[in-house]
Amino acid sequence: MNCRLGCGACCIAPSITSPIPGMPNGKPAGVRCAQLNDDNLCKIFGQPERPDVCGEFAASIDVCGTTNEQALWLITDLESSTC
């Protein structure tokens, strides 16, 4: 499955513990990444400063569903079950 451009759920719902430019301590779950632009696209996509965890994310129907809203709900649910 390919990511839906402009979804951004994987840049909002999960916590990220590694440093991100503009977020040196990572980001908490449910907080919009500082590198997510107004169109929900990553400003550092393909750049070395992008956290490895972001580059390793693979979209799948189980995680992303069929809509952006469903992706946000599913990833939020997965995040809360891992705490």
Q: Is the pLDDT confidence value at 83 over 70?
A: no
| Helix residue spans in 1-83 (DSSP H) | 52-56, 61-64, 68-81
Q: Residue 82: what pLDDT?
A: 82
Report the candidate in 54, 48, 76, 73 with the shortest Cα–Cα distance to residue 3.
Answer: 54
The tokens describing 57, both together, are 């994310």
Is the CB of residue 13 less than 8 Å from the CB of residue 29?
yes
Q: What is the pLDDT of residue 52?
A: 95
Q: Which two tokens stand for residue 3?
A: 């990511």
Indicate whether this model's pTM tops 0.95: no
| Measured distance CA(34)–CA(9) in Å, rounded | 13
pLDDT tens per residue, range 23-65: 999 999 999 999 999 999 999 999 999 999 999 999 999 999 9
